[in-house]
Amino acid sequence: MDSSQLSYFIIDKAQQPDIGVHWYQHDTFNEGVHFMLFSGTKYAQLEDVGPQLFAIDQDHPVCQVMEKLMETSPIGCRFSSHLSIDEVIARCRWMLQIETDFGPALNRFYEPRAMLATWEVLGDERWWHYWQIAQEVSWFDEEWHQLKRPEALPVCVEPPEKPFVILQQQFDEIDQHRAGRFVSKMTAYYQSHLPEGVDPEPWVAGVLEVAREHEMATRELQEAWLRTAITEGEHFMRRPDIAEVLAHTEYIPSQRWQHVQQLLSGLPGSVT
**Cα angle at 148 between 123 and 113, to 5 degrees?**
65
Distance CA 162, CA 164 (A): 6
Q: 103-106 and 6-12 as β-strands: parallel, antiparallel, unpaired?
A: unpaired
Final residue before a domain boundary, out of 111, 145, 165: 165
- Which amino acid is it at 157? V
Final residue before a domain boundary, out of 116, 142, 165: 165
Exposed e or buried b per residue across 15-24, where buried means at least 16 C-beta atoms within 10 angstroms of its C-beta: bbeebeebbe
* Grouped pLDDT means (10 residues each) for the chain, 272 residues: 80 91 77 89 89 93 94 95 94 95 94 94 96 96 95 90 94 91 94 95 96 92 96 96 94 94 77 50
Same domain, 232 and 114: no
Predicted pLDDT of residue 40: 86
Predicted pLDDT of residue 267: 64
Let me know: does 52 contact 37? Beta carbons within 8 Å. yes
Distance CA 227, CA 112 (A): 25
With CA atoms as reference, report the closest residue to 130 among 175, 79, 178. Answer: 79
Same domain, 122 and 184: no
Predicted pLDDT of residue 174: 94
Same domain, 183 and 92: no
Same domain, 12 and 107: yes
- Helix axis angle for 253-265 and 219-232, nearest 10°, is 20
Residue 202 lies in a domain: yes
Distance CA 231, CA 29 (A): 52
Distance CA 222, CA 204 (A): 10
Distance CA 5, CA 135 (A): 12
Tell me the torsion sign for CA atoms 208, 209, 210, 216.
positive
Name the DSSP class of 79: E
Roughly how many angstroms between the first and final C-alpha of the chain, as a whole number?
Answer: 53
Distance CA 210, CA 205 (A): 9
Q: Which residues form the domain of 74?
A: 3-165
Same domain, 182 and 144: no
Predicted pLDDT of residue 269: 53
With CA atoms as reference, report the closest residue to 124 among 149, 146, 143. Answer: 149
Same domain, 18 and 126: yes
Residue 271 lies in a domain: no
Same domain, 36 and 118: yes
Same domain, 156 and 181: no
Predicted pLDDT of residue 25: 83
Residue 272 lies in a domain: no
In Å, how far are 266, 269, 272 from 252, measured between CA atoms? Answer: 22, 16, 10
What domain count does the chain have? 2
